[in-house]
Amino acid sequence: MRSAPVRSTIQRRFNSAEAKPSWIVDNEFNRERAAVKHHAASTSDLWRKLSIFAVIPCLIGGGLNAYNLWSEHWEHWEHMAPLEERTEYPYQNIRVKNFPWGDGDKTIFWNSDVNYHNKDKAT
């Protein structure tokens, strides 16, 4: 068994009734640190407000603009001739060798709604 003095030292509490620890001294270094902490708090508050009241409305406005442009694009696309009737120029769909996927004619980003390639068509 342990003796009473060892047990009381281990169980000793380090609570204090002082409002400020005695080792904090009011000097220039500690005042500067407090000023830096206050500046950091006010700066982070500024950026939080900017994020909420400036960035979010700009993102919403940009999203609405993108949606309007997207709608206008597809509205214009509907008035164009069908893909099969469009002129295919010699610089379009150049194939030196087949691609290793699919039928070998379509690129990896091929979209059948907007891309068309007729191998037999000559210009």
pLDDT at residue 114 tops 60:
yes
What are the tokens at 113? 């709604």
pLDDT tens figures, 33-79 = 999 999 999 999 999 999 999 999 999 999 999 999 999 998 988 88
Reported pTM: 0.49
| CB of 105 closer than 8 Å to CB of 98 | yes
- Distance from C-alpha of 89 to C-alpha of 115, rounded to nearest angstrom: 13
Helices (H), 1-123: 4-10, 28-50, 56-78
What are the tokens at 26? 């009011």
| CB of 99 closer than 8 Å to CB of 106 | yes
Return the pLDDT at 1: 56
pLDDT band at 94 (very low <50, low <70, confident <90, very high): confident
Residue 28, CA distances (Å) to 14, 25, 33, 40, 120 in order:
28, 9, 9, 18, 84
Question: Across 7-16, 28-37, 59-68, 112-121, which has the greatest mean pLDDT?
Answer: 59-68
pLDDT at residue 24 tops 80:
no
| CB of 116 closer than 8 Å to CB of 86 | yes
Instruction: Please give the DSSP secondary-structure letter assigned to residue 82.
Output: P
